[in-house]
Structure 1
């Protein structure tokens, strides 16, 4: 089924000034879903799932978080944090005129989705979480990200050389996931170092006590044999969330190369979230994040929609 796709942009005020954030909109209607990419990746990685959801009547938004893809990339680490990314998602909802959405993502995107549920629970219809990075991923996360930050900070020529080598490759002439990988190589050393620094030394996700207060329905997908995104984290999160359910992927690449089963799980979950009546009493915002929720709500964006 063919669905409409449109590119848009909005602007946010942050520590570095006025920054531009770009997104893609799939389909139409009032059953909103927001999909968030992984760290150093782009919104293009969520395109197949976005199209599958939109083909079943859901209205999907994918965005490039600040510092990623076609959004602005300030070189200040203060511009980046998981909570700051969550505020960008809330700003996107405001910009699109969506009161609520199913919020989901992969890796960093899953953690950002949890932050949205923490700072603005009234905006979350459900959570679609793949490969969250929590307590069991600390050591592997340090090993994986510290060398990248070191190279970006102290050996920026390596990042520039990789970008110049891979950027000219036409994405339409290579397999889709090869193109997604090439997008990851399209980095700028100063911004890349700032993104990793901001996320690495900040709060990665709401703590366990706070996660247990998130009452939105949640589908949590975990992968076996993935040390950076251990299935134990996903299973633990599904147990912590009062309305969480765990689904195990057969492998790390199942949703990328054989997506039918997990696409079906995601579509059915998102549809169920919108079929269920809204709770009469929204979840209580935990102490200390109420002000952040109000600030996120004030980040109204000026709507601009260039044609694709």
Structure 2
């Protein structure tokens, strides 16, 4: 099914779209938001369990600068289907869904970017289908240095969702009445994140934790796409050491250090400019071809 008009307009060209992929239980529906137009494509991927709307502001900024942006909810996230089968989920499967999205919209290549686990998925896309990747934006990738902290965060989530599902359901019911329009944007995003049934939450975390978490070091070193790596300051769950490692492994990668914790969320202007410049540089041939056709 091709993109459908979104109910909440932002840019004139902002649309919600849906497409289907074949899963273990049959066809799974995935949802995405499309911003802008043209042949200079960018795909944005959210952190684990977080809906795609986390990238709304960045997507609109990129689209206003002439880029054609897709923000995807991978399976188990946001508006996409949420099967309760752990085998439906893995970083590799999420990467395959990105390639399926590019096929669906007819995009040959795109800059693929993500935050936290979304950065891992972007790396996996570069390994799985390097010919489809024009560039990488890796915000706080989660690799070896983050393993202990991630386990300490995700293991209780898995245990609670699996063995005390009533707690997840109670949290969901308690937050449902909160009026979304009356709270700050980051609170609204948090409310949308916890608004999930316990079965799919447990399945997503289980599938990711016990599957392939990221490409190997050798595979990351084989990536040839230009890469912009954002190293987060004072973030134990996304330590700067992992970003530094990836930047050293990928030939020619650029490392950009944040100036404060959560800078891209709290004070996004500087990093929005950095990411926009990088994406425009990676997609320059597509934008030039578009201008030539227009003339």
Question: TM-score scaled by structure 2?
Answer: 0.92
Q: Counterparts of 1:116 and 1:252 in 2: how far apart (Å)?
A: 27
Instruction: Find the aligned partners of 1:113 and 1:226 in 2 and give their Cα distance.
Output: 20
Distance in 2 between the 1:171 and 1:99 partners?
A: 37
- Once the two structures are TM-superposed, the CA of residue 171 in structure 1 deviates from its matched residue by 2.0
Task: Judge conservation of contact 2:11–2:36 (CA < 8 Å) in 1.
Answer: no
The corresponding residue for 2:280 is 271
Q: Which runs of 5+ in 2 are unaligned?
A: 1-9, 287-295
User: What residue is the counterpart of 1:20 in the other structure?
Assistant: 29
Pairing partner for 2:91 from 55, 60, 82: 82
Map 1:282-301; keep pairs closer than 5 Å.
none
Match of 1:67 among 63, 76, 80: 76
Distance (whole Å) between structure 1 residues aligned to residue 94 and residue 177 of structure 2: 29
Aligned partners of 1:64, 1:168: CA distance in 2, in Å? Answer: 24
* 1:142 aligned partner: 151
Q: 1:119 aligns with which of 128, 140, 151?
A: 128
Structure 1: which 4+ aligned runs deviate by more than 3 Å? none
- Give the structure 2 partner of residue 208 of structure 1: 217
1:285 aligns with none
Q: CA deviation at 1:2?
A: 4.2
Question: Paired residue for 2:63?
Answer: 54
- Separation in 1, partners of 2:253, 2:195: 36
1:219 aligns with one of 206, 219, 228: 228
Deviation at residue 252 of structure 1 after TM alignment: 2.6
Aligned to 1:299: none
Structure 1 residue matching 2:151: 3-state secondary structure: helix
Q: Render the CA deviation track for 1:232-253: whole Å, top value 9, x for unaligned.
A: 1001101100121100112232
Aligned to 1:252: 261
1:105 to 2:114 alignment: yes
Q: Normalising by the residue count of structure 1, what TM-score does the alignment of the two structures yield?
A: 0.88
**Equivalent residues of 2:139, 2:231 under 8 A apart:** yes
Q: Name the SS for the 2:283 alignment partner.
A: helix
Work out the CA distance in 1 between the residues paired with 2:200 and 2:73: 14
Kindly tell me the number of residue pairs found equivalent between the two proteins.
277
Q: What secondary structure sits across from 2:28 in the alignment?
A: strand
Structure 1 residue 121: Cα displacement? 0.3
Measure, in 1, the Cα distance between the counterparts of 2:181 and 2:36: 22
Give the Cα separation in 1 of the matches to 2:132 and 2:191.
Answer: 34
Which structure has more relative contact order (CA 8 Å, sep 6+)? It is: 1
Looking at structure 1, the residues matched to 144 and 193 of structure 2 have their Cα atoms a distance apart, in angstroms, of: 25
CA contact (8 A) 1:3 1:54 kept: no
1:164 aligned residue (161, 164, 173): 173
Alpha carbon RMSD of aligned pairs, Å? 1.2
**CA shift for structure 1 position 168:** 2.8
CA distance in 2, matches of 1:148, 1:263: 31
The residue aligned with 1:182 is 191
Gaps of 5+ in 1: 278-308
